């Protein structure tokens, strides 16, 4: 008996040990399975969140397909129907990253409840109610099941209530007397009609008091279509445009007249894009591209430039135009004789040009019949504004003229290709013009940035006067260096190098490539200085700017759901050129004219200037001749010439 008992005890202890082992094994297996599930879930999240890093153009034809692409991703991931997926995306402003963060942080139930989703297995009212009639909570009548609609939340009301609703309100003439107003009671159809008319089509909630469930769009569409077909089409249009109106990553192209396209970008909304219609704009503020200015800076700058009435009013009452250069001159005291920076002297009272000899009250040889203008003091802000505005407009005018070089440059390249004995690459000329336009525009927008960065309107308490002066000097040095190199590149591009010899053409090519790379590096350096050192050090406000792109503004490509992967390539040059066939014909005519001219010159004996023109000149003299720059600049480029 003892042995049996010991055996039983041993067997019981063995069973306990086995159970412990099995339980520990089960726990280990469960943890292993959960870790595997976490890895699978993490991988699925990564693949689900992955989006194309480039911008896409959404036309009228593929807007519905673009929306359904986003819907399909949510439907497949969360196993939902289209209505619930759209409700989730509209609630999260079509931001899938935000939707997934809510899912991970709060769980699926909280995700659905916050968005107004109530997922049920069946919404068939006949399967949930045994009675053939249902009492409507609006008209309090027993209605047939066929006349009642139930939403996901379980609330059911009449589609069209049978009785009218009588309301009583005070009369305006006699407030103590109430009058009755007969209204149609608000069944589902009337409720949907009112919400669509009021512009609330995207999130129509249940009629029950305190219920936040979003009504099924299929039910809304069917009931409204039976009453008003145009209103049902309007409802579908609102749902379709929600993909653009409520989506931070998609915006309409601001072209006027509107081209009908929308642009979809990646995660960063601070970027500059180009639509299929050719319009370039800032995606964040829908205004023209303005980097390195922030959106707020550019908005203030455009308002200041457009508000000409105050500036002109102040200038007319406090300044006098120079009779020679027409600059606005303000007086802060002294006598009536004014001297402009161009050297012209004139009378402050009448504005006429005079000599220099004068006393405190009179100017020799001048009789003034004008009245003294009121000029109490010079406005410092106006002086700063005019300084930055003049530099900004000078760069903009140069940019406008250089844009027109596109067709002429295309002509030069065609002549070079036809005149070359072997196939050669002349893309350096097109790339040089692209860099010229990019840097010229970047330089132009740096002056409005400097106006607000170092002024008192935005960042008055962000920097001390010493820090402000140091940073302003640092930026101005880079602006002067960049402008000098940009002007040199502009002169190189404008040269008639299609008629140059091989040596001269190689020289032009090397310098175009050299200065293009140098300007690109300087633009990157200035952008980094502005973004990191200037705007990055701000404590009170955050000003983000679009990143610098050496290829220029990113051009959108038309959305194609069948081609999700595209190769990275430089965007085409955004310049206006003529028809390719006409350009080729003009190039052939130009080559023929040049050939005849050369033949005629060969028949005649060379004149003295022509003979002198065939002399070899040094590369340093050639650069000075082509670019018309001082000798000090050419010495810095080519080095000292050997004696």
| pLDDT (0 to 100) of residue 548 | 93
CA distance 416 to 463: 54
What pLDDT is recorded for position 545?
93
pLDDT band at residue 24 under the 50/70/90 scheme = very low
What's the token pair of residue 157? Answer: 């009301």
Is 178 a residue whose pLDDT tops 70? no
Q: Mean of the pLDDT values across residues 193-204?
A: 87
Helix axes 63-78, 82-91, angle to 10 degrees: 100
Report helix angle 619-627 to 502-528, nearest 10: 70
* Other beta carbons less than 10 A from residue 199's beta carbon: 9
Give the pLDDT score at 315: 65
Strand partners for 149 = 157
Interatomic CA distance for residues 365 and 368, integer angstroms:
10
CA dihedral 635, 640, 641, 642 (to 10 degrees): 180
What per-residue confidence (pLDDT) applies to 173? 52
Average pLDDT of the residues in 304-328: 70
Using the predicted structure, report yes or no on whether residue 523 has a pLDDT greater than 50: yes
Q: How does pLDDT run across 31-41, given as a tens digit for each residue?
A: 443 444 344 33
Mean per-residue pLDDT for 606-635?
42
Q: Could you tell me the pLDDT band of residue 355, with boundaries at 50, 70 and 90?
A: confident
User: How do residues 378-416 score in pLDDT, each as one tens digit?
Assistant: 457 777 888 999 999 999 999 999 998 887 888 888 877
DSSP 278-331: S-EEETTTSS---TTS-HHHHHHHHHHHH-HHHHHHHHHHHEEE-TTT--EEE-
What is the model's pLDDT at position 269? 82
User: Domain segments of the chain: what residues?
Assistant: 302-378, 403-537+577-604, 607-643
With a cut of 80, say whether residue 48 has pLDDT above it. Answer: no
Confidence of residue 628 (pLDDT cuts 50, 70, 90): very low
pTM of full prediction above 0.85: no
**Dihedral, CA atoms, 590, 593, 594, 599, nearest 10 degrees?**
160
pLDDT of 249-306, one tens digit each? 899 999 999 998 999 998 778 899 999 999 999 999 999 999 999 999 999 999 888 7
Q: Average pLDDT over the chain, rounded to whole?
A: 75
Look at 131 and 175; give whichever has higher pLDDT.
131
According to DSSP, the residues that pair with 320 across neighbouring strands are 329
Q: List 319's β-bridge partners, or say none.
A: 330
pLDDT score of 27: 40
Q: What pLDDT sits at residue 152?
A: 82
pLDDT band, very low/low/confident/very high, at 569 (cuts 50, 70, 90): very low
The predicted structure's pLDDT at residue 361: 66
pLDDT digit string, tens, across residues 360-387: 667 777 767 554 443 434 457 777 888 9
Please tell me the distance from the alpha carbon of residue 400 to that of residue 490, in angstroms, as a whole number. 12
Query: Considering only 218-232, 400-414, 445-459, which range has the smallest mean pLDDT?
Result: 400-414
Q: In 80-163, at which residue ranges do the beta strands (DSSP E only) sit?
A: 133-135, 142-144, 148-150, 156-158
The pLDDT value recorded for residue 587 is 63
Q: Which residues are catalytic?
A: 335
pLDDT digits (tens, 9 = 90+) for 130-156: 566 777 766 667 777 777 888 888 887
In this prediction, residues 573-593 reach a mean pLDDT of 58
Res 481 pLDDT > 90: yes
CA distance linking residue 520 with residue 552, whole number of Å: 11
């Amino acid at each position: 008996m003892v042995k049996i008992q010991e055996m039983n005890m041993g067997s019981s202890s063995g069973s306990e040990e086995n159970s412990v082992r099995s339980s520990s094994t089960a726990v280990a297996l469960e943890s292993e399975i959960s870790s595997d599930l976490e890895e699978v879930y993490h991988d699925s999240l990564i693949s689900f969140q992955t989006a194309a890093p480039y911008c896409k153009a959404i036309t009228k034809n593929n807007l519905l397909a673009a929306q359904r692409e986003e819907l399909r991703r949510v439907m497949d991931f969360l196993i939902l129907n289209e209505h619930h997926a759209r409700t989730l995306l509209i609630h999260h402003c079509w931001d899938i990253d935000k939707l997934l963060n809510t899912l991970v942080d709060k769980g699926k139930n909280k995700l659905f409840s916050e968005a107004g989703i109530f997922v049920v297995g069946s919404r068939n009212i006949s399967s949930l109610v045994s009675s053939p009639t249902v009492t409507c909570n609006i008209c309090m009548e027993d209605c047939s099941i066929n006349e009642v609609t139930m939403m996901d939340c379980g609330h059911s009301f009449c589609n069209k209530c049978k009785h009218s609703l009588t309301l009583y309100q005070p009369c305006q003439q006699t407030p103590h007397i109430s009058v009755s107003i007969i209204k149609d009671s608000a069944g589902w159809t009337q409720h949907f009609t009112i919400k669509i008319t009021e512009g609330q089509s995207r999130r129509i909630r249940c009629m029950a008091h305190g219920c936040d469930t979003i009504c099924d769009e299929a039910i809304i569409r069917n009931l409204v279509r039976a009453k008003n077909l145009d209103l049902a089409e309007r409802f579908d249009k609102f749902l379709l445009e929600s993909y653009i109106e409520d989506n931070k990553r998609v915006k309409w192209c601001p072209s006027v007249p509107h081209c009908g396209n929308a642009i979809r970008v990646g995660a960063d909304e601070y970027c500059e894009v180009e639509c299929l219609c050719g319009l370039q704009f800032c995606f964040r503020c829908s205004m023209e591209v303005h980097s390195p200015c922030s959106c707020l800076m550019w908005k203030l700058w455009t308002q200041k430039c457009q508000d000409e009435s105050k500036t002109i009013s102040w200038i007319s009452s406090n300044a006098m135009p120079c009779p020679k250069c027409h600059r606005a001159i303000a007086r802060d005291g002294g006598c009536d004789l004014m001297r402009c920076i161009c050297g012209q002297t004139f009378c402050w009272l009448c504005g006429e040009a005079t000599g220099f000899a004068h006393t405190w009250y009179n100017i020799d040889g001048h009789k003034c019949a004008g009245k003294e203008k009121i000029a109490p003091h010079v406005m410092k802000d106006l002086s700063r504004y005019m300084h930055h505005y003049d530099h900004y407009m000078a760069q903009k005018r140069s940019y406008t003229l250089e844009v027109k070089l596109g067709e002429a440059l295309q002509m030069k390249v065609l002549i070079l290709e036809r005149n070359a004995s072997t196939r050669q690459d002349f893309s350096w000329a097109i790339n040089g013009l692209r860099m010229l336009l990019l840097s010229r525009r970047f330089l132009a927008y740096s002056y409005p940035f400097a106006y607000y960065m170092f002024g008192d309107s935005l960042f008055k308490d962000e920097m001390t006067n010493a820090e402000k002066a140091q940073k302003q000097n640092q930026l101005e040095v880079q602006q002067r260096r960049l402008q000098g190199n940009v002007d040199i590149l502009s002169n190189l591009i404008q040269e008639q190098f299609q008629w140059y010899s091989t040596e001269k053409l190689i020289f032009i090519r090397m310098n175009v490539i050299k200065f293009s790379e140098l300007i690109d590096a300087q633009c990157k350096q200035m952008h980094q200085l502005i973004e990191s050192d200037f705007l990055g050090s701000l404590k009170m406000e955050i000003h983000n700017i679009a990143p610098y792109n050496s290829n220029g503004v990113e051009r959108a490509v038309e959305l194609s759901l069948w081609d999700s992967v595209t190769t990275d390539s430089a965007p085409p040059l955004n310049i206006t050129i003529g028809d390719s066939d006409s350009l080729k014909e003009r190039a052939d005519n130009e080559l023929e004219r040049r050939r005849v001219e050369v033949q005629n010159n060969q028949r005649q004996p060379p004149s003295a200037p022509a003979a002198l023109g065939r002399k070899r000149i040094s590369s340093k003299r050639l650069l000075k001749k082509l670019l018309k720059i001082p000798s000090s600049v050419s010495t810095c480029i080519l080095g000292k010439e050997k004696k």
